[in-house]
Every structure is written in C-alpha cells, then in structure tokens.
Structure 1
Amino acid sequence: MSSGYGLNGGPSRCFPFWQEVLACYVVNTSSEDDSGKKKCVPVLEDYYECLHHKKEASRVRALQTAYRKAEAAQPRDNVPPAGAIQNLGLLNKDDDSKAVLGK
C-alpha cells in the first residue's frame, strides 16, 4: 500500500519504492513546471513492479514455456509403463492389497 502501512502494521514491502518516487518528484518538479516527471519514469516502473510483479510473471511464463518445449523435444528414456507404477496402490489395487495383507 502506498500509505506505508502493511497488513500487519509497520511499513509495507513497496513503501521504500514509493518514497523514491516521491523524492524524485520533489527534486525534479515544481508547482510551475512538471517537465521533470519524465526523469522519474524508471523509479515509477520499479514501484509498479513491486506492486504488481508483471515483469517477474512474464519472465516466469517465458521460462516455463522454454522448459516445457525442451522437455517435449527430448522424451525420457527410462519411463516405466503404467502397470509398473504400483507403489501408490492405484493400479492393480487388488494385487497390492493381497500382497500387503498376505491373503
């Protein structure tokens, strides 16, 4: 929150970024001239990234897409067949129950 108070009291995680934005505006603008706001665009972008995480989310999506693409291009060699996966007791449940119960 730009108010500076987090959910549990104390400063919020983005409050330092908000202070940088305000400091930039104070230094670069005046009541007569707003042309200095252009200098504050990078600081404002940092604040918005702290609030919304849009750049981080797009990077994560790009990494996941690249990982899935690489994984699909090289299939696994030693994939066990579905019948061999019995340790969860979901496939061939009757056989596993008999083995465990000793019947």
Structure 2
Amino acid sequence: MSSGFGVITPQGRCHQYYVAFQDCIAAGHGVNSRKVCGPTVEDYFECLHSKKQNKWYGKIRKTVIQKHLEKEYKEESKSSTQESSTQA
C-alpha cells in the first residue's frame, strides 16, 4: 500500500515504487514531469496491477497449450494411420 504499511510485512510491496514516484513528482520537473516521471509511474502501476507480467504469463500459457495440442494431434494422427494400415 502507498501508506507504507503492509499486511504481513512492515512495508508494503509497492511502497518503494510509490516513494520514488512521489519524489519524482515533488522534484517539480514542470512541463516535462510526464516524460521524466513516466517510467517511475509505469513501475509503480506495474507493481500494483501486474498487467505486463500477466500478459507475459498469458503468452507463455498459450504457447504451452498450443504445443500440447499439437503433440496430441500428432499422436492421434499416428495412431489412426497405424489402425487403418492394420485393418487393410
């Protein structure tokens, strides 16, 4: 949590990112604050919501499932060709 108090630990998991974000904003970069503090804000929101991490896990999961299905299809087609050759 941004307050600095965690549920289990004395400090929240994203508190360090919040402090960096707060320091960047407090530095007062003026008009360029979005450009300068953009990566800091991005890190803080990634820590809170894990959108990039979840997207990455989704890609991995999709690849694993696809490879598993391809393997099943190959095994199924092999067994069906073997059955048809033994019946003839």
Query: TM-score, normalised to structure 1's length?
Result: 0.63
Query: Who wins on radius of gyration, i.e. which is larger?
Result: 1
**Counterparts of 1:16-95 in structure 2 under 5 Å?**
16-29=16-29, 34-38=30-34, 39-75=36-72
In structure 2, list runs of 5 or more residues that go unmatched: 76-88
Aligned length: 73
Q: CA deviation at 1:37?
A: 1.8
Q: CA deviation at 1:36?
A: 2.8
Greater RCO structure (CA 8 Å; 6+ sep): 2
Tell me, in whole angstroms, the C-alpha distance in 1 between the residues paired with 2:67 and 2:6: 41
1:25/1:36 contact within 8 Å kept: no
Equivalent residue number for residue 10 of structure 1? 10
Tell me, in whole angstroms, the C-alpha distance in 2 between the residues paired with 1:9 and 1:64: 31
Structure with greater helix percent? 2
Query: TM-score, normalised to structure 2's length?
Result: 0.73
Tell me, in whole angstroms, the C-alpha distance in 2 between the residues paired with 1:11 and 1:72: 44
Q: CA deviation at 1:67?
A: 0.7
1:9–1:61 distance in 2 versus 1, CA, 3 Å = closer
Alpha-carbon RMSD across the aligned residues, in angstroms, is 1.7
Q: CA deviation at 1:10?
A: 1.3
In structure 1, list runs of 5 or more residues that go unmatched: 78-103
